[in-house]
Amino acid sequence: MKKSQFVIIGLGRFGSSLAKELVELGYEVLGVDKDEEAVQDLSQVLTHAVVAEATDEDVLRSIGVRNFDCGVVAIGDDIQASILTTILLKDLGVKKVVAKAMTELHGRVLEKIGVDRVVYPERDMGIRVAHQLVSPNLLDYIELSKDYTIAELTVPKCLNGKSLQELNPRGRFGCSIVAINKPQGVIIAPVATEVLAEKDVMVIIGTNEGIEQFEDTII
Ligand code: ADP
């Protein structure tokens, strides 16, 4: 199967780190920025990098953006440029357009003009870091809905040698441990007799409240 190709417009902090990571993951990436220095910095790393004004339709057409499977508009500060570029990418037929928003209002405008996904890197990272600061064992989490979360937690010393049966997260907090990552490998759907060791990583699913209570008891 052909691998997706990405065009990243705006090679600031977010755009450049996204572009570099996609290249690391083995994808073809065209980076576009109106600033020559930003393009120069990445010209050796990305598949292609061009200096171009992204709000100019003819320019976008000439660099062939419509041939890309996914376009990311990573322009933040200049909201007008972000919106114009997003509309142009959609009109030129880029299949999937993702855009970065600086504020809720900016995000709402992007949604109204038909962007496929809006990302709020600063806001989301702030929220993520806040959660990690108040829960030292929390490595990562995904909000499944308003009420339910999957969290990845490091097993603290106090749970070393405890089986899932003894810990009883389902009975005590209504949470299920769905996987344990041990140095020997990942155990999916662990049985009740499975024993935790300090520094294992457990993946737990439950209500936000249940997971919070669980975290509080294991700090
Ligand atoms: P970050 O916070 O991720 O660094 P910025 O908004 O500061 O994001 O950077 C966005 C990048 O987008 C800058 O490198 C800037 O030169 C580029 N950029 C802004 N407007 C345009 C435009 N109209 N065409 C092409 N590149 C642009």
Does 66 share its domain with 88?
Answer: yes
Enter the tokens of residue 118.
């809006």
- The predicted structure's pLDDT at residue 1: 65
So what's the pLDDT on residue 219? Answer: 65
Do 80 and 110 fall into the same domain?
yes
Q: How far is the CA of 123 from the centre of ligand 1 (A)?
A: 18
Closest to 197 in 3D by CA, of 144, 136, 155, 135:
155
Of 85, 101, 124, the one marking the end of a domain is: 124
Question: Considering its fold, how many domains does the chain have in total?
Answer: 2
- Looking at the fold, whether 174 and 213 belong to one and the same domain comes out as yes
Residues 6+ apart with CB under 8 A from 79: 102, 106, 109
Q: Ligand 1 pocket check: which of 78, 80, 84, 120 to mutate, most ligand atoms within 8 Å of Cβ?
A: 78
Does residue 129 fall inside a structural domain? no
From the CA of 62, how far away is ligand 1's center (Å)?
20
98, 19: one domain: yes
Lowest-confidence region among 11-20, 135-144, 198-207:
135-144
Does the pLDDT value for residue 14 go beyond 70?
Answer: yes
Identify the domain containing residue 212 by its residue range.
135-218
Q: Both 103 and 182 in a single domain?
A: no
- pLDDT tens-place string over residues 154-165: 999 999 999 999
Q: Tell whether ligand 1 has an atom less than 6 A from the beta carbon of residue 181.
A: no
Q: Note whether 174 and 84 are same-domain residues.
A: no
Tell me the pLDDT tens digit for each residue of 168-180. Answer: 999 999 999 999 9
pLDDT band of residue 91 (cuts 50, 70, 90) is: very high
Say which CATH number the domain at 73 has.
3.40.50.720
What digits encode the pLDDT tens for the residues 18-57?
999 999 999 999 999 999 999 999 999 999 999 999 999 9
Q: Answer yes or no: are the C-beta atoms of 206 and 175 closer than 8 Å.
A: yes
Are 103 and 118 within 8 A, CB to CB?
no
Q: Is 185's pLDDT higher than 70?
A: yes
Q: What is the pLDDT of residue 183?
A: 95
DSSP state string for 133-145: HH-TTEEEEEE-S
Last residue of a domain, one of 90, 124, 158: 124
User: Do the Cβ atoms of 115 and 126 come closer than 8 Å?
Assistant: no
Please give the pLDDT value at position 134.
Answer: 83
B/e letters for 19-44, b = 16+ CB within 10 Å, e = fewer, are: bbebbeeebbbbbbbbeeebbebbee
Any domain includes 130: no
Centre of ligand 1 from the C-alpha of residue 76, in Å: 6
Predicted TM-score (pTM) of the model is 0.81
Smallest CA separation from ligand 1 atom 13, residue: 12
Q: What is the pLDDT of residues 101-140, one digit of tens each?
A: 999 999 999 999 999 999 999 999 998 888 888 888 899 9
- Tokens 């090679």 belong to residue: 11
Same domain, yes or no: 153 and 60:
no
Are 145 and 207 found together in one domain?
yes
Q: Which of 192, 198, 193, 197 is nearest to 176 (CA)?
A: 192
What is the distance between the alpha carbons of residues 123 and 101, in angstroms, rounded to a whole number? Answer: 9
How does the average pLDDT of the chain come out, rounded? 94
Complex prediction ipTM? 0.95
Instruction: Determine the average pLDDT of the residues in 64-93.
Output: 95
Asked, for residue 67, whether it belongs to a domain, the answer is yes
